[in-house]
Amino acid sequence: MPLIPRLTSLWRNLFHKDRVDQEFTEEIRAYLDMLTETKIRQGLTPREARRNALIELGGVEQVHEKVREVRMGQLMETAWRDVRLGVRALVHSPIFSVVTVLSLALGIGANTAIFSVVNGLLLRPLPYPESEQIVHVWHTPPQQSFPGLDKFSVSPANYVDWKAQSSAFEQMAVYTDWGFSLSTSNDPLSLIGAVVSSDFFSVLRTNAMQGRTFTTDEEQPGRDQVVVIGHGLWQRAFGADPNIIGQSLTINSRSFTVVGIMPAGFEFPREAELWVPLAWNDNDRKIRSMHDYLVIARLKQNVSLEQAQAEMSTISTRLEQQYPEENSGWGAVVIPLRDDLVGDIRTALLVLFCAVGFVLLIACANVANLMLARGANRQREIAVRIALGAGRARLIRQLLTESVLLGVTGGVLGLLLAVWGSRMLVQLGSLPNTGDIGIDTWALGFTLLVSFAAGIIIGIVPALQFTRTNLSDTLKEGSGRTGGSSIKQHTRKALVISEVALSLVLLIGAGLMIRSFWKLQNVDPGFDTSNALTMSVVLNFIRYPEPHQRLAFVDRAIEQIRAVPGVVSVGTTTRIPLSGGGSTQPFTIEGRPAGTIAEQPMAQTRYISPDYFPAIGIPLRQGRFFSDQDRDNSVPVIIISEAMARRFWPGENPIGKRVTPSFHPEPGPREIVGVVGDVKTSGLDVDMSAMMYLPFKQLAVPFMSFVVRTSSNPESLVQPVSKAIYSIDKEQALTDVQTMDQVLTKSLSDRRFNMTLLLAFAGVALVLAAVGVYGVMNYTVTLRRRELGIRMALGARRMDVLRLVMGQGLTLTLIGVAAGLISAYALTRLMASLLYGVTATDYLTFVSVPVVLIAVGLVASYVPARRATRVNPTIALRAE
Amino acid sequence: MARKQVDLLQGTLDLLVLKSLAPGPLHGLGVSHRIDQITKGTFKVKPGSLFPALHRMEEAGWLQSSWGESENNRRAKYYRLTAAGRRQLNTETEDWQRISLAITTALKTT
């Protein structure tokens, strides 16, 4: 029976059993009725006729049962026979089977692992009910001030207006992530959490597992001392105490009452473990220029993203006209929550998914080649079977059963690899939502599908080839000297050429990533990353309400840390370079037109202690550093970065000029006393931006990071330095304790992850392609032994033979390389956003990678060529 | 000639079913009647063996079935030969002829 009807029949018998049964019941009823009628015509009374007919039938159920057995039996029998034959054939050639299964397992395993990540991040819905309706609403900043930035956080007043004026959203909530220190009987626990408005949980449609979330009342200052804790924290810190609700906790030295526990898995925003209400007073609500908050909203059921976007744009335009001073140039953009969370990782994942698919294709091509080579030995078996009357379709089916068996076995092994692989991916890459990545039903289905597909891909070419043999030729040829038909050789060569082409594309992709990474690593961050330790502190307003108290804390901390043996210098800043973020504010230059705030130029702002520059290793270019004499009652001073000096005072000496940071609480111009080197603030791949450094002592903000320069390995000083800070305040939690090298490494982790994976895939591809070239050349040599023997008998030198064989290998490689270059040229531009400092068609990569591949191809064909030179003419000729 | 009913060998039943369907599609009862007719009553095929045979041969791809109207307007399932079925009929006929010839010959020799 042809394949398609067979499959539909299998489908029917397995999955529509009821219908099949019912049909048979109907069939048998018709039979009975017709038999009864016949008997009536023969002269029986209706009753007698019916009775006779039933007796003749001999029990409806028995007949039905027999029919059922037959239907399934027949089907299972042929399928089972094919499987048995397949297994037998595979067991007969164990090395072939093992090699094949292993290469497929690798290929399929890698695919499943990457799929599990793609599935977890891009395909599966977020773990909130109707999560596709949830969006983030961001500001779009004025481009002249924030070139290249396409989204920006929101100010309280704008949020209040958005919420009041928009109708596209069911709910709109505002939140910001926040660090908390939870006092315990031991060292304080440093936690990530969020300050949220009461609508926050209903936007996400998630209720507390126990207790409740926040009420609107609790958005009022004074009533906001309640906290909702995460499931993980509840188990970790409170031993899953069922009576925790109603108890009071000390968080940031304030007392909070626990009102709810969130269900397991709820960790929004990223890894948050506790939530407290956002309580704005009337003044807070009027702030329009401080952009500190994120806005999350749920679209109404019948409102599209475009409609919501159109409405938000209208509202923004209106607000721009209403508050030109603060709002001109500020728009709004609505982004689906998932897109926002997944962000840049999408391109990288798709590139990797493509790459890993290529690897599997190459592996399949290799296996298909192996099967073709092996088929040479099976050709006689197949020819005999055809001669004995086996149909072509039946043979193809059997050969395909065999290759699908290989594919599925590879798939099962691959699944094991993938379980391990996906865990490694999660560890290696800093992926969002990692809880969702793993082997689930979808990944299983994907693996099954890929295994079948791989089985069919590796089997179809050989199956079609073998069954198209010229019977008499095959049978006439002696044993072992078969299969050299030119068609088959063409197929094998075509397979190898595509392998070379595919691996070239991968290698070029990997090459571009390596070049980018290499360029990045050579980028000077602008400071000295070695031997430096950093840690952050958020002082809370309850215990340190006054600036002089914060100053005192920092002074004492610096003093204590400096006393630790091994510490060279210590300074503080408000944001460590390379860690991203940091505040930015507009400024005006004395003697130049000020304009509105929206028109003013922007610069990143840091508040630092006098020793910050020596501690982190930023060089002084002009003027002086801050000193202890720059205090709150002395002349307001400022230090700027070279980039700022170049941009605003080109060809001038900026020292002595005066600028006014517009948001600084104490208005008035500040004198530029120094110019320091530029640093990379957000990442090595982001351009140096204008920076303003202000003395911490002239504005004591409550959050700071310590930078400690050490004389030896900074990791050995983590304990003593932490102790030094705890000795001043044992309730003060430290966060982000890491060496500067770790900060640097972390800032490159995404790129390293992508590069490592792509490189690994490309490496595997290269090896597979080399094996492919080797295989096909080796086989060619076997086939041409006689010819080579004759040539050598006629006086060909070994060099000639070597050149002949290697020339053939080289031709294959070159065709593959040419095809690969064209594909790479078309494909690599898709990964342009992942590159740094190189174009997607970087000529160095496009030249050097083919050279490597050609060299590998030459080596791979050298081995068989060597073998060819050792052909003994007499033996080769006699063998015929 | 004594009208004796004979038990059917498995292969024989298949051959008879294929043969009975060769002229055109029939429903189950029709097949059974046709066999009765062409063997002049030697073989009476009971539903207990007829239906399993029909379904087995359908699964094997020799027959195809479809629902149709019977002579007295009753819905009945009709079977007809497929190309594979026709080939099978030829092979089995040849086999049968060879075997019966051989056996007849064997039985004649004393």
Q: What mean pLDDT do residues A746-760 have?
A: 84
In this predicted structure, the answer to whether residue A448 has a pLDDT above a threshold of 80 is yes
Nearest-CB residue to B29 (from A26, A31, A71)? A31
Let me know if residue B23 belongs to a domain.
Answer: yes
Burial of A388 (0-12, 13-18, 19+ CB in 10 A): exposed
pLDDT tens digits, residue range A335-349?
Answer: 998 888 777 778 888
Nearest-CB residue to A74 (from B46, B59, B76)? B59
On whether any CB of chain A is under 8 Å from the CB of B87, the answer is no
Q: d(Cα A199, Cα A203) in Å, to the nearest integer?
A: 6
- Which of A151-165, A365-379, A552-566, A763-777 is least confident? A365-379
Residue A541 pLDDT class (50, 70, 90 cuts): low
Q: Transcribe A490-555 into DSSP letters.
A: HHHHHHHHHHHHHHHHHHHHHHHHHHHHHHHHTS--SS--TTEEEEEEE--TTT--SHHHHHHHHH
Which percentage of chain A shows pLDDT scores above 70? 91
Residue span of the structural domain in which B21 resides? 10-108
Residue A79: strand pairing partners: none
- A749-773 in b/e form (b: 16+ CB < 10 A) is ebbbbbbbbbbebbebbbebbbbbb
Chain B residue with Cα closest to A59: B48
pLDDT tens digits, residue range A238-280?
Answer: 888 888 888 888 887 788 999 999 998 888 887 788 999 998 8
Cβ-Cβ contacts under 8 Å, B61 against chain A: 1-2, 5-6
Let me know if residue B77 belongs to a domain.
Answer: yes
On whether any CB of chain B is under 8 Å from the CB of A564, the answer is no
The helix (H) or strand (E) run that includes residue A161 is helix A156-165
Let me know if residue B26 belongs to a domain.
Answer: yes
- Cβ distance A26 to B75 less than 8 Å, yes or no, reads yes
- Cβ distance B56 to A70 less than 8 Å, yes or no, reads yes
In this predicted structure, the answer to whether residue A486 has a pLDDT above a threshold of 80 is no
- Cβ distance A69 to B52 less than 8 Å, yes or no, reads yes
Let me know if residue B55 belongs to a domain.
Answer: yes
- Cβ distance A31 to B75 less than 8 Å, yes or no, reads no
Distances (CA, A) of A826 to A349, A350, A509, A832, A846: 18, 16, 12, 11, 12
Residue A507 pLDDT class (50, 70, 90 cuts): very high
On whether any CB of chain A is under 8 Å from the CB of B96, the answer is no
Within A248-361, strands assigned E span 248-251, 254-261, 274-277, 294-299, 331-336
Q: How far A117 CA sits from the closest chain B CA (Å)?
A: 43
Predicted model pTM: 0.69
Q: How far A1 CA sits from the closest chain B CA (Å)?
A: 5
On whether any CB of chain B is under 8 Å from the CB of A33, the answer is yes
Residue A599: how many other CB atoms lie within 10 Å: 16
Please name which of A559, A571, A558, A564 lies closest in space to residue A532, comparing C-alpha atoms: A571
Which percentage of chain B shows pLDDT scores above 90? 8
Residue B3 pLDDT class (50, 70, 90 cuts): very low
pLDDT tens digits, residue range A287-297?
Answer: 887 777 899 99
In this predicted structure, the answer to whether residue A374 has a pLDDT above a threshold of 80 is no
Residue A476 pLDDT class (50, 70, 90 cuts): low
Residue A487 pLDDT class (50, 70, 90 cuts): low
Q: What mean pLDDT do residues A202-227 have?
A: 89
On whether any CB of chain A is under 8 Å from the CB of B51, the answer is yes
Q: How far B76 CA sits from the closest chain A CA (Å)?
A: 6
Check residue A665 and give left, alpha or beta (phi > 0: left; psi -120 to 50: alpha): alpha
Let me know if residue B4 belongs to a domain.
Answer: no
pLDDT tens digits, residue range A280-339?
Answer: 888 888 888 777 789 999 999 889 999 999 999 999 999 989 988 788 888 899 999 888
CB A504 within 8 A of CB A822: no
Q: d(Cα A394, Cα A81) in Å, to the nearest integer?
A: 12
Tokens found for residue B103: 């056996």
Nearest-CB residue to B60 (from A27, A28, A74)? A74
Cβ-Cβ contacts under 8 Å, A79 against chain B: none
Place of tokens 């909530």: A173
Cβ-Cβ contacts under 8 Å, A56 against chain B: 46-47
In this predicted structure, the answer to whether residue B6 has a pLDDT above a threshold of 80 is no
Q: What mean pLDDT do residues A515-543 have?
A: 84
Please name which of A831, A172, A770, A168 lies closest in space to residue A513, comparing C-alpha atoms: A831
Mean pLDDT, all residues of chain A: 84
Q: What is the pLDDT of residue A326?
A: 80
Nearest-CB residue to B74 (from A2, A30, A58)? A30
Alpha helices in A210-277 (DSSP H): 231-238
Let me know if residue B97 belongs to a domain.
Answer: yes
Distances (CA, A) of B17 to A64, A831, B13, B31: 19, 66, 6, 7
Q: B70: domain CATH number? A: 1.10.10.10
Residue A192 pLDDT class (50, 70, 90 cuts): confident
- Cβ distance B76 to A38 less than 8 Å, yes or no, reads no
Chain B residue with Cα closest to A76: B59
Chain B residue with Cα closest to A35: B29
In this predicted structure, the answer to whether residue B2 has a pLDDT above a threshold of 50 is no
- Which of A2-16, A352-366, A809-823, B83-97 is least confident? A2-16
On whether any CB of chain B is under 8 Å from the CB of A4, the answer is no
Which percentage of chain A shows pLDDT scores above 90? 24
In this predicted structure, the answer to whether residue A138 has a pLDDT above a threshold of 50 is yes
Q: d(Cα A438, Cα A434) in Å, to the nearest integer?
A: 9
In this predicted structure, the answer to whether residue A393 has a pLDDT above a threshold of 80 is no
Q: What is the pLDDT of residue A481?
A: 45
Nearest-CB residue to A34 (from B29, B51, B60)? B29
Q: What mean pLDDT do residues B19-39 have?
A: 89
- Cβ distance B47 to A38 less than 8 Å, yes or no, reads no
Cβ-Cβ contacts under 8 Å, B51 against chain A: 24, 27-28, 63, 66-67
On whether any CB of chain B is under 8 Å from the CB of A59, the answer is yes
- Cβ distance B75 to A58 less than 8 Å, yes or no, reads no
Q: What is the pLDDT of residue A504?
A: 93
Work out how many CB contacts closer than 8 A connect A with B: 75
- A637-664 in b/e form (b: 16+ CB < 10 A) is bbbbbbbbbeebbeeeebbebbbbbeeb
Residue A336: strand pairing partners: A135
Q: d(Cα B45, Cα A229) in Å, to the nearest integer?
A: 78
- Cβ distance B61 to A23 less than 8 Å, yes or no, reads no
On whether any CB of chain A is under 8 Å from the CB of B73, the answer is no
Backbone angles phi, psi at A542, to 5 degrees: -70, -50
Let me know if residue B3 belongs to a domain.
Answer: no
The helix (H) or strand (E) run that includes residue B61 is none
Name the domain count of chain B: 1
Cis peptide before A269 (omega within 30 of 0): yes
In this predicted structure, the answer to whether residue B98 has a pLDDT above a threshold of 90 is no
- Integer-rounded Cα radius of gyration of chain A: 37
- Cβ distance A59 to B72 less than 8 Å, yes or no, reads no
Q: What mean pLDDT do residues A221-240 have?
A: 88
CB A487 within 8 A of CB A807: no
